[in-house]
Chain A
Amino acid sequence: MSAPAVERPAPPRAEEKRPTRGRRSERSRAEARLGWMLAGPAFVLMLLVTMYPILQAFFDSLFSLRLTAPDEREFIWFRNYAVVLGDPAFWQSMGVTLFITVVTVILELILGFLLALVMHRAVKKLRGFARTAILVPYGIVTVVAAFAWFYAFDINSGYINSWLAWVPGFDEDFNWFAYQGSSLFVIILSEVWKTTPFISLLLLSGLAQVPGDLEEAAKVDGATGWEVMRRVILPNMKAAIMVAVLFRTLEAFRIFDNIYIMTAGANDTEALSLLAYNTSIGRLEIGLGSAISVLLFLSVLIIAGIFIKGFRVDLAGGRNS
């Protein structure tokens, strides 16, 4: 596996040997070669499995192509994009996707922070318990989580309705999945449940970086708990919070599994990923579906761009460097 280490018995540490500008020694060239030999396969493979398909999708999106009538393939420039962007259904999808993204990320940030605090502060005996419990949703298949919540709320097999029967004005025959708002409620609930562990782990590592003596000093100076939180802890975790928010935003934006299981996009719950899927793989309209796929990809790029430029999130720096 890491056999090259054997051939290079005494590699100087990376920091010690930045090659001088312009001229590079034989040795650093050999190191660069070895570096790319080791890292190259993974790098090339990553590009192949993502860049190639997205370029292909862009190419396909310029054609009018239905797999139901493959012979009528015709080059139509950007007309697919015009059709998609002129379709209210696309904007409705975009709206739903943005709504789900914003609501889940806000809820997860609050809940994830509380869970991170619990993991951070809990006494040893309870910490293991808390950590295990918090990790369970992370490991569970999204589809399984979606079914669990779906069956709990479903009008036939559910029991939530009978639990809520005491609420004045609540109809026990309420069908959660017959309306947009209530469907989105359950969809968001399951998404929050499944993905909060991830955000809380990111925040936990941020919490661990807050200097403990700073916290103590603030307390000695008479700061209240809330003041310590607002003035010391949160500012010191800003990088971790922004990275967590960016990651979850991009992930929530491509939400698919739980919506597919719960409503399959009925009652205006069709998020962009579902719209793309239903168009290309459901109805075999490859041209239109590819256009939506490309637009989805561009949206993700734009969101990432806004975060990185606008909020100055240094991803690589914040994560590791």
Chain B
Amino acid sequence: MRAMTWPQRIGWIVITVAVLVWSLFPVFSILMTSFKTPGGLFSGTLLPEEWTWENYGEILAPGGGAQELFLTSLRNSIGISLIATAIAVVLATLCAYAIARLDFPGKRMILVTALAVSVFPVVSIVTPLFNLWRSIGLYDTWLGLIIPYLSLTLPISIWTLAAFFRQIPWELEQAAQVDGATPFEAFRKTVVPLAAPGVFTTAIIAFFIAWNDFVYGISLTSTDAARPVPAALSFFTGASQFEDPTGAISAAAIVVTIPIVIVVVIFQRRIVSGLTQGAVKG
């Protein structure tokens, strides 16, 4: 890279700061709201006039007004999203392996189907499921959410993994065998290290998508038996358990956002390559 002049350097710093402000502003905004006292909520300022941890106590501390609602939904969200991600990644790994490495009729059809499923309007699926789940007892259960979540996590996993697997130099495996490794050793020492990052990145992306779900969450649950966090957040409103839910919702929003931000910071390079490779020929 050639040396930059001072104006260029300042220009880039200004641009980066603008990008940072645009991307982080809403997060900062709700973070500030989460520190406001009930009285300070209506101050009309971004920063709290008086800082408090009260809202976090509300959702996390024993005896907090929304503690049970929040912690149960957090457990539901983590459990359901993890299971839906795990199933999708395992099945998609097999599927993407076949697509990347074998030649068989219908390969293209599978990819096109995955694409079609990923743009399917969720609301179109939810009405029949709502009806069906109620008659077969899956309504308001973990399984009742895991199944529809697969329609969110499977297609993206197949696309991303197929793109990753296409780039693996599979000849290495043969080479290792020629050099005297057993087939399993060859596979473990050459393919696994190259494939693992792709599988891991895919799992992160799939988890984000499951974690983000709202429509299934509010439609297919009725109690805290299976209600995930986004749905629970919308139920804070109007709940009579405590007066004004704004502070508690903000605190809960921050609690579920922090892990995401950490994951993004650590794995940004991988997530970007996963998303772009799955999207356009990489």
Which residues from chain A sit less than 8 Å from chain B, CB to CB?
A: 1-2, 4-7, 9-11, 13-14, 17-19, 28, 31-32, 34-36, 38-39, 41-43, 45-47, 49-50, 53-54, 56-57, 60, 67, 115, 118, 122-124, 126, 128-145, 147-149, 151-152, 156-159, 161-162, 190, 193, 197-198, 201-202, 204-206, 208-209, 239-240, 243, 247, 250-251, 253-254, 256-257, 260-261, 272-273, 276-277, 280-281, 286, 289-290, 293-294, 296-297, 300, 304, 315-316, 318-321
Q: How far is the CA of A25 from the CA of B247 in the complex (A)?
A: 68
Interface of A is mostly: helix
CB-CB under 8 A from A256, the residues of chain B are 122-123, 214-215
B91 interface residue per 8 A CB criterion = yes
B143: CB under 8 A from chain A?
A: no
Residue among B103, B195, B215, B275 making CB contact with A201, cutoff 8 Å: B275
- Selected from B103, B107, B128, B250, the residue in CB contact (under 8 A) with A53 is B128
Q: Are B280 and A205 in contact (CB under 8 A)?
A: yes
Residue of A nearest to B132 (CB): A56
A119→B153 CA distance, assembly (Å)? 27
Chain A residues in 8 Å Cβ range of B277: 205
Q: Name B residues whose Cβ lies closer than 8 Å to a Cβ of A.
A: 1, 4, 12-13, 15-16, 19-20, 22-24, 26-27, 29-30, 33, 36, 41-46, 90-95, 97-99, 101-108, 110-115, 117, 119-132, 147-148, 150-151, 154-155, 158-159, 162-163, 166, 170, 173-174, 177, 183-184, 187, 191, 195, 208, 211-212, 214-215, 218-219, 229-230, 233-234, 246, 249-250, 253, 256-257, 260-261, 263-265, 268-269, 271-272, 275-282
Q: Is the CB of B124 within 8 A of A135?
A: no
* Residues of A close to B13: CB separation below 8 A: 126
Q: Which residues of A contact B30 (CB under 8 A)?
A: 144, 147-148, 151
CB pair A132 B129 closer than 8 Å: no
The count of A-to-B residue pairs whose CB atoms sit within 8 angstroms is 347
Kindly list chain A residues whose C-beta atoms are within 8 Å of the C-beta of B158: 42
Residue in contact with A9 in the complex, picked from B93, B177, B280, CB distance below 8 Å: B177
Residue with the greatest number of chain A CB neighbours at <10 A, chosen from B27, B102, B177, B229: B102
B-side contacts of A143, CB under 8 Å:
214, 230, 233-234
Task: Report which of B103, B115, B150 forms a contact with A17, defined as CB distance below 8 A.
Answer: B103
Q: Is the CB of A316 within 8 A of B257?
A: no
Q: With CB as the reference atom, state the residue of chain B lying closest to A139.
A: B260
CA gap between A132 and B269 in the complex, in Å? 8
Residues of A within 8 A of B43 (CB): 159
- Closest beta carbon of chain B to A292's beta carbon, Å: 8
Chain A residues closer than 8 Å to B23, beta-carbon distance? 133-134, 136-137, 197
Identify which of B16, B26, B147, B159 contacts A320 (C-beta below 8 A): B159
Give the shortest distance, in Å, between A43 (CB) and chain B (any CB). Answer: 5
Cα(A198)–Cα(B272), bound, Å: 10
Residues in B neighbouring A209, C-beta threshold 8 A? 280-281
Residue from A42, A56, A250, A254 with most neighbouring chain B CB atoms (10 Å): A42
A50 vs B124: C-alpha distance when bound (angstroms): 9
Q: CA separation between A315 and B121, bound complex, in Å?
A: 18
Instruction: Choose one: A34, A50, A277; the contact of B123 (CB below 8 Å).
Output: A277
Contact B150 A56 (CB under 8 A): no
Provide the residues of chain A in CB contact with B33, threshold 8 Å. 151, 157
Give the CA-CA distance A157 to B45 in the complex, in Å: 9
Known contacts being A31-B103, A123-B1, A132-B265, is A250 close to B130, with CB within 8 Å? no
Given contacts A39-B95, A152-B29, contact A45 B150 (CB under 8 A): yes
With A35-B102, A205-B280, A318-B280 known to touch, is A273 a contact of B215 (CB < 8 Å)? yes
A139-B208, A254-B122, A286-B127 known; A35 vs B107 contact (CB < 8 Å): yes
Contact partner of B131 among A60, A118, A135, CB < 8 A? Answer: A60
- Across-interface contacts of B162 in A (CB, < 8 A): 320
Inter-chain contact A162/B257, CB cutoff 8 Å: no
Q: How far is the CA of A139 from the CA of B204 in the complex (A)?
A: 10
Task: Find out whether the CB atom of A320 lies under 8 angstroms from the CB atom of B281.
Answer: yes
Decide: B26 and A149 in contact? CB cutoff 8 A.
yes
Chain B residue contacts of A277, Cβ below 8 A: 123, 126, 215, 219
Asked if residues B159 and A42 are in contact (CB atoms below 8 Å), the reply is no
